[in-house]
Structure 1
Amino acid sequence: MNCLQNWPEPIVRVQSLSDSGMSVIPERYVKKASERPQLVASLNDDVLNIPVIDVSRLDNPNTLSLISGACREWGFFQAVNHGVSPELMKATREVWREFFHLPMEVKQEYANSPSTYEGYGSRLGVQKGAILDWSDYFFLVYLPQAIRDQNKWPSLPSSCRELVAEYGESVVKLCGKLMKALSVNLGLKDDYLQNAFGGENVGACLRVNFYPKCPQPDLTLGLSSHSDPGGMTMLLPDENVPGLQVRRGDTWITVKPVPNAFIVNIGDQIQVLSNANYKSVEHRVITNSNQERVSLAFFYNPKSDLLIEPAKELVTEDQPALYPPMTFDEYRIYIRTKGPCGKKQVESLIKSNS
């Protein structure tokens, strides 16, 4: 339990708070009035949804055009017919649901610390007194394989490690295909983004999110507004309980998950590489008073020590480089210190060209 001492305050598992039957959430989870979700009519059938794209033919010009439009206008899309087995997707999501319902002493064996986040956690950021999110999670490293340690992955349920390995392999293949499509759409060589990420030496990690039932969903968030600091995220949502919200101007759109789809979004590193032709977009997660939610966010990232900067082909006199070179390791220190904070991180990097 020593790793818990590295957090600024004692760790409280949100699932334990939810299971206690409390009717009022602790003050530490109450967001500022301006950050609280508007839950009225958020799930109406006529609500706007992010684009849904059939990615079975990534060599098709129409498919490429749809992906390009989604990346430029939304930063998000739902990928269907992607080649990852629906049975594998469901089994992996459900084995993690089982994990979160194991006895607390079993889960605590994997308790994480701020130094890596790998393991069972309940907060991001190390600022003392921060307002917290209504969620627990499990974070693990998948790539590079040299630092993958399956002993840090849950041994229970017994099929968990095998399913995570198989699931990760399938999602990595899909990410490689989508990276080619993004490169082509930017007018770059089809292997440009992959090579910029380190070729075969990319990084990848999995964050499994557990959002327990919340007695006051109008006062808090499951995950605060943020853009993803990495390259590209493949989210496997809980199809039965919508919760992801994407920012569209001044409006928050509640995403309605399509069965067997991945929700794909652009991260800050691709925003930098594309010189902001593609933009990462703020998103957040609302809570639910009646049902828990489980989602799997697979992050496809650059090799941590490679310099990431705008592609020279996308830099002109009229469109100068917006961002200085920086490694992903340097970049993610910010969010590991401050926690989720909208788009402040990537916007703070924009160079003054005056």
Structure 2
Amino acid sequence: MAAAADHATPTYDRMKEVKEFDESKIGVKGLAESGITSIPRMFIHSPETLSDLKKPYSQTCTKKNIPLIDLSHFNSPTKRHQLVEQIRDATSTWGFFQVINHGIPKPVLDETINAIKAFHDQPHEVKSKFYNRDNDKQGVVYSSNYDLYRAKAASWHDSLLVWMAPEAPRAKEEDIPEVCRKEIVAWESHSTKVAEALLELLSEGLGVEAERFKNLGFLEGKLVVGHCYPYCPQPDLTVGITSHTDSGLTVLLQNQVGGLQVKHGDEWVDVEPIPGALTVNIGDIIQIISNDNYISVEHRVLAKASKEARISILTFFNMGTTADSNYFGPLPELLSPDKPALYRKFTMPEFYENFINNGLDSKSFVEKVKTVK
């Protein structure tokens, strides 16, 4: 029996597999294109995570959709208040909504998606020049899984990250990959205008001045991310991106390959791609500053066996400051003896330290700064 034990299957060395994958710089797209029929063990998620993956709707179920909001009345003196109410209701109950008539021309949307796809479709030797996992390196970074070495299981996506503001980490235009340079610069400009309008509406929804969120600095930190979720041979064993919440305001453009899901109550709801629409969600910092008038909700992306890759482009709008002397918390205008602050004040370095330590997670910072546990 002892001899048999000597020939038992060796203990699985996850870190060795992770390191080999990372050093190959091929990303999950490279794995998918290599012709694999089963995914490496490092991508297989726990039974708890996999059992929570939403089963297909039965024909008897009512299919829910996140709110769809028409921004065409943004400058209407008679209908803007209705728009403010729609945004407030969507953000207080869902934390997510889609917008149409947002002012970004359809050719710009199409060109942005095509350009990010073109980057990810490049040969390995071209993309790998941008591959980096140094958290201190900013500007332009291509990698697979931000938290690859910390997560219990890797997820099925690759990402191109381009810092656009503030000045210190901002990418030099010539450093942005040429295949998508012009389109990323244009997308950042257009998505910023949409975010500025949305921040006005969110401010007015709280009953404070329209410039309140903007003046807090929510347009001063900008990160553009282009995700690629390629074909997965075993989508039932992994996820595209694990469940998490964002930090500030997120504006998302996606192609017509679905997979994004939003947690609403106790169920996961598909965010169906709508041609020409943008998907918007608020993050933990806005939930805290709004004193829970707006909610940040968990979302994830499923892995898929579709041959066409899911492409998504996001601009994350966050505070630009890294000073530990600037404190943020629930807006004083929202507080009263009947509505006390639900959160203590915090600094952005404290927030970023929590993110670096925890990576993609759900609400750990919100829980950390709650005044009542």
- TM-score clears 0.5: yes
C-alpha distance in structure 2 between counterparts of 1:244 and 1:77, whole Å: 13
Shift of 1:267: 1.1
Please list, as runs of the form range in 1=range in 2, the aligned pairs for 1:110-149 lying within 5 A after superposition: 110-112=130-132, 113-116=134-137, 118-125=140-147, 127-128=149-150, 130-145=152-167, 147-149=169-171
Among candidates 261, 264, 278, match of residue 294 of structure 2: 278
2:321 aligns with 304
Are 2:216 and 1:196 aligned? yes
TM-score by length of 1: 0.90
1:78 aligns with 98
C-alpha distance in structure 2 between counterparts of 1:91 and 1:177, whole Å: 23
Q: Would the alpha carbon gap of residues 71 and 228 (structure 1) be closer, same or farther in structure 2, given more than 3 Å must change?
A: same
User: Can you give the 5+ residue segments of structure 2 that lack an aligned partner in the other structure?
Assistant: 1-17
Larger Rg: 2
C-alpha distance in structure 2 between counterparts of 1:18 and 1:105, whole Å: 16
Please list, as runs of the form range in 1=range in 2, the aligned pairs for 1:241-252 lying within 5 A after superposition: 241-252=257-268
Among candidates 209, 212, 221, match of residue 239 of structure 2: 221
2:30 aligns with 16
Which deviations, in whole Å up to 9, do the C-alpha atoms of 1:39-91 show, x marking residues without a partner? 42389995211000001212522111111100000000001000011110110
2:252 aligns with 235
Q: Would the alpha carbon gap of residues 129 and 299 (structure 1) be closer, same or farther in structure 2, given more than 3 Å must change?
A: closer
Q: Would the alpha carbon gap of residues 125 and 261 (structure 1) be closer, same or farther in structure 2, given more than 3 Å must change?
A: same
Shift of 1:123: 1.4
1:3 aligns with none
1:324 aligns with 344
Q: Would the alpha carbon gap of residues 325 and 98 (structure 1) be closer, same or farther in structure 2, given more than 3 Å must change?
A: same
Q: Would the alpha carbon gap of residues 19 and 44 (structure 1) be closer, same or farther in structure 2, given more than 3 Å must change?
A: farther
Greater relative CO (CA pairs within 8 A, separation 6+): 1
Among candidates 39, 42, 48, match of residue 25 of structure 1: 39
C-alpha distance in structure 1 between counterparts of 2:260 and 2:269, whole Å: 8
C-alpha distance in structure 1 between counterparts of 2:348 and 2:284, whole Å: 10
Please list, as runs of the form range in 1=range in 2, the aligned pairs for 1:146-165 lying within 5 A after superposition: 147-149=169-171, 150-155=173-178, 157=179, 160-165=180-185
Shift of 1:179: 0.5
Q: Is the 8 A contact 2:148 2:154 kept in 1?
A: no
Which deviations, in whole Å up to 9, do the C-alpha atoms of 1:137-178 show, x marking residues without a partner? 0011112245422243112x2xx2122111111111111111
Q: Is the 8 A contact 2:165 2:320 kept in 1?
A: no
Among candidates 289, 292, 296, match of residue 309 of structure 2: 292
Shift of 1:27: 1.6
Q: Would the alpha carbon gap of residues 167 and 308 (structure 1) be closer, same or farther in structure 2, given more than 3 Å must change?
A: same
C-alpha distance in structure 2 between counterparts of 1:337 and 1:22, whole Å: 33
1:5 aligns with none
C-alpha distance in structure 2 between counterparts of 1:14 and 1:75, whole Å: 30
C-alpha distance in structure 2 between counterparts of 1:169 and 1:77, whole Å: 21
C-alpha distance in structure 2 between counterparts of 1:287 and 1:317, whole Å: 47
Shift of 1:304: 2.8
Q: Is the 8 A contact 1:215 1:289 kept in 2?
A: yes
Shift of 1:203: 0.9
Calculate percent identity across the aligned residue pairs: 33
Q: Would the alpha carbon gap of residues 44 and 336 (structure 1) be closer, same or farther in structure 2, given more than 3 Å must change?
A: farther
1:49 aligns with 65
Letter in 2 for 1:51: P
Shift of 1:341: 1.7
Which deviations, in whole Å up to 9, do the C-alpha atoms of 1:184-208 show, x marking residues without a partner? 110111111111126xx61111111
User: Which segment drifts farther, 137-146 or 91-100?
Assistant: 137-146
Please list, as runs of the form range in 1=range in 2, the aligned pairs for 1:86-125 lying within 5 A after superposition: 86-112=106-132, 113-116=134-137, 118-125=140-147
User: Can you give the 5+ residue segments of structure 1 that lack an aligned partner in the other structure?
Assistant: 1-7
C-alpha distance in structure 2 between counterparts of 1:261 and 1:44, whole Å: 28
Count residues with an aligned counterpart.
Answer: 339
Are 2:183 and 1:169 aligned? no
Aligned-residue RMSD, C-alpha: 2.2
Shift of 1:20: 1.8
Which deviations, in whole Å up to 9, do the C-alpha atoms of 1:69-122 show, x marking residues without a partner? 000000000010000111101101101101111111111111122224641010
Q: Is the 8 A contact 1:50 1:255 kept in 2?
A: yes
User: Which segment drifts farther, 12-21 or 261-270?
Assistant: 12-21
Q: Is the 8 A contact 2:221 2:319 kept in 1?
A: yes
C-alpha distance in structure 2 between counterparts of 1:44 and 1:51, whole Å: 22
TM-score by length of 2: 0.85
Q: Is the 8 A contact 1:227 1:268 kept in 2?
A: yes
Q: Is the 8 A contact 1:140 1:206 kept in 2?
A: yes
C-alpha distance in structure 1 between counterparts of 2:194 and 2:119, whole Å: 26
C-alpha distance in structure 2 between counterparts of 1:278 and 1:35, whole Å: 27
Are 2:197 and 1:181 aligned? no
C-alpha distance in structure 2 between counterparts of 1:308 and 1:129, whole Å: 29
SS at match of 1:87: helix
